[in-house]
Amino acid sequence: MSVVPANIESETLAVGSAEHRHLLGQFFLNTHVEYVPEQMPWPPLAEEELARLRALPFWQEAVSTENVTSNTVAAAAVLEADPLVRKAIALQGFEEMRHARLLLALTTHYRIPVEEPPRFTPRSLESDFLFAGFGECFDSFFAFGLFALARESGFFPPALVKVFEPVMQEEARHILFFVNWVKYRRSQLPWWRRPAFRLRCAWIILKQVASRVKTARSMGKPQSVEAAPSENFTLTAHQDLGTEVTLHRLLQLCLTENERRMAEYDARLRRPRLVPGIARALFRVIPASM
Ligand SMILES: [Fe+2]
Ligand SMILES: [Fe+2]
């Protein structure tokens, strides 16, 4: 099975043009899906399935991440002067809040103990939005592969997969919006401020990479029972999904799933390239048995 090639932009659309700005806002608003977390049809689970679900170590981390992301994104809407783009960011904030509500509904329904963290207040609207956005670019990419793995292995029953499918697709939309917003935002700055913006983005990406390298290096090392669940749980979660998978296979799944999910949207939008690029390079150099 071959791994998908790098994205090819079919038609050029000048970044920062009125068309790009309009497409950015409109694609996001048009692809919003309605659902109410508190009315989800949670499937009944067998004792064994329930125990497996409860044993997953990342619920608390997931709740904390959604708390930070949702409050950061919701607050960031005021950064935008353009009403359409502002509306799209506000909608993304709503969707992130909905993820937090969905997690709360799930953990309540299946009686998974989690503590609700205090509401996160962003300190710097733009920097925090950039940090959350680049973080999602990494986490969502790995989440796509892990979700496919859990679906294929039957770790999650099909009814539960169905509940979470819209959430996965929403994360694909979020990162597609984010990478286009970053380019749009930069294009709106006077030329002399663009290098500093680029540097700030590079610094944030480096911090996100460093944090994931730290997590990757700790993988496989014995952890104490009391150890807090690791950050970047999408990097380690495959160890908990009860199925043997090589890193090579996981990268392949992440790449094909990312491509499949992104294919749903207007080809004129710029695709995320950094994380799939790193994954593709790794996929090529590491042995299939690893
Ligand atoms: Fe989310
Ligand atoms: Fe998101």
Q: What integer pLDDT is reported at residue 2 of this predicted model? A: 45
Q: 52 with 45: CB under 8 angstroms?
A: no
| Alpha carbons 141 and 131: distance in angstroms, whole number | 16
**How long a stretch of residues is the chain?**
290
CA–centroid distance, residue 93 to ligand 2 (Å)? 8
Ligand 2 centroid from CA 180, angstroms: 14
Ligand found nearest the CA of 234: 1
Centre of ligand 2 to C-alpha 65, Å, is 10
Q: How far is the CA of 38 from the centre of ligand 1 (A)?
A: 16
- pLDDT for 58 equals 85
Nearest bound ligand to the CA of residue 64:
1
Of the candidates 258, 268, 206, 259, the residue with the CA atom closest to the CA atom of residue 234: 258
Q: Judge residue 157's burial from the number of C-beta atoms within 10 Å of its C-beta, 0-12 exposed, 13-18 middle, 19 or more buried.
A: middle
Ligand nearest to the CA of 134: 2
Whole-number Å distance, alpha carbon 133 to ligand 2 midpoint, is: 8
- Residues whose beta carbons lie less than 5 angstroms from ion ligand 1: 96, 99
The pLDDT tens digits of the residues spanning 20-76 come to 999 999 999 999 999 999 999 999 999 988 998 998 888 988 999 999 999 999 999
How many whole angstroms from 158 Cα to the centroid of ligand 2? 23
Query: pLDDT tens track of the chain, all 290 residues?
Result: 444 444 444 567 899 999 999 999 999 999 999 999 999 999 999 998 899 899 888 898 899 999 999 999 999 999 999 999 999 999 999 999 999 999 999 999 999 999 989 999 999 999 999 999 999 999 999 999 999 998 988 888 899 999 999 999 999 999 999 999 999 999 999 999 999 999 999 999 999 999 888 877 776 555 443 444 445 666 666 666 666 788 999 999 999 999 999 999 999 999 999 999 999 999 999 988 88
- What CA–CA distance (Å, rounded) separates 88 from 135? 19
Cβ proximity of 280 and 258 under 8 Å: no
What distance in angstroms lies between residue 71's CA and the mean position of ligand 2's atoms? Answer: 11
Read off the amino acid at residue 114.
Answer: V
* Burial per residue of 146-156, b for 16 or more beta-carbon CB atoms within 10 angstroms, e otherwise: bbbbbbeeebb
- In Å, how far from its chain's centre is CA 158? 21
Cite the beta strand spans of 116-157 per DSSP E.
Answer: none
From the CA of 133, the nearest ligand is 2
Selection from 124, 118, 64, 134 nearest residue 96 by Cα: 64
C-alpha of residue 164 to centroid of ligand 2, in Å: 13
**CA 262 – ligand 2 centroid, Å:** 14
Q: Report the distance separating Cα 213 and Cα 193, nearest Å.
A: 30
Ligand 2 geometric centre to CA of 285 (Å): 30
Give the ligand at the shortest distance from the Cα of 67.
1
